[in-house]
A and B are shown apart, each in its own frame.
Chain A
Amino acid sequence: SQQGEEDPQALSIQEGENATMNCSYKTSINNLQWYRQNSGRGLVHLILIRSNEREKHSGRLRVTLDTSKKSSSLLITASRAADTASYFCATAPDDKIIFGKGTRLHILP
């Protein structure tokens, strides 16, 4: 079964709006990572948040982590057309990094 599950599966928003994606996981973790995938090929690492951190920022990205609820959220502010992609959360409870099924984000012009 999947360690991480993203929600929603798909999201369409207007350019300029904020996009929020959520991730739930099952076991204890050292860190949680978010990746982006364009056009079904290689993934790009976005941000890593450690288990002792609650929030982290990187440019227009904001990630939160709630270890008590085993959940994380990724917020993209002021979305752009180039943000259209699939977003995956990933955890590695035993060094075997496991991805969720992803959220497909579509930014409408």
Chain B
Amino acid sequence: GAGVSQSPSNKVTEKGKDVELRCDPISGHTALYWYRQRLGQGLEFLIYFQGNSAPDKSGLPSDRFSAERTGESVSTLTIQRTQQEDSAVYLCASGIGASSYNEQFFGPGTRLTVL
């Protein structure tokens, strides 16, 4: 079956513009995570959705970042008024359940470049 997909694969935008990144998880996966990875760095947790529970937004770096998920399907990560420091690869992962017990499946990521 299909894996986790993300779109666009690459996004170049100008400073101050808003961007929306999309993640399509594997069907049936209740857990969905967003991460940010700056060049040469590790993964930085952003937000976690689990079923119909309130999302864990504790990793969002500022109020310019927001994310939504429709039920147990697609998720969008929105960055408003982008800054150059937002340039990174944004990775999405999904799993059949909480990551305490289950592996996560990653999408290929969206490379965001803010000029």
Majority SS at the chain B contact face: loop
B73 to chain A, nearest CB (A): 19
Chain A residue, CB-CB nearest to B9: A41
Chain A interface, number of residues (Cβ within 8 angstroms) = 26
B39 touching A40, Cβ below 8 Å: yes
Q: Which residues of B contact A42 (CB under 8 A)?
A: 4, 91, 106-109
Known contacts A41-B108, A43-B91: A99-B101 contact under CB 8 Å = no
In Å, the complex CA distance between A92 and B102 comes to 10
In Å, the complex CA distance between A8 and B82 comes to 34
Interface positions, chain A 17-73, Cβ under 8 Å from B, are 29-31, 33, 35, 40-45, 48
In Å, the complex CA distance between A42 and B105 comes to 9
Q: Which residues of B contact A93 (CB under 8 A)?
A: 100
B42 touching A99, Cβ below 8 Å: yes
User: Inter-chain contact count A-B, CB under 8 Å?
Assistant: 67
Majority SS at the chain A contact face: loop
* Per-residue contact bits, chain A 97-109, to B (CB 8 Å; 1 contact, 0 not): 1111110000000
B100 touching A45, Cβ below 8 Å: no
Identify which of B14-22, B43-51, B63-71 touches chain A: B43-51
A31 touching B100, Cβ below 8 Å: yes
Q: Is A1 an interface residue (CB 8 A)?
A: no
In Å, the complex CA distance between A89 and B70 comes to 30
9 shortest interchain CB distances as A-B pairs: A101-B42, A97-B99, A92-B99, A95-B98, A99-B43, A45-B103, A42-B106, A43-B106, A30-B100
| A residues lining the B interface (CB < 8 Å) | 2, 29-31, 33, 35, 40-45, 48, 88, 90, 92-102
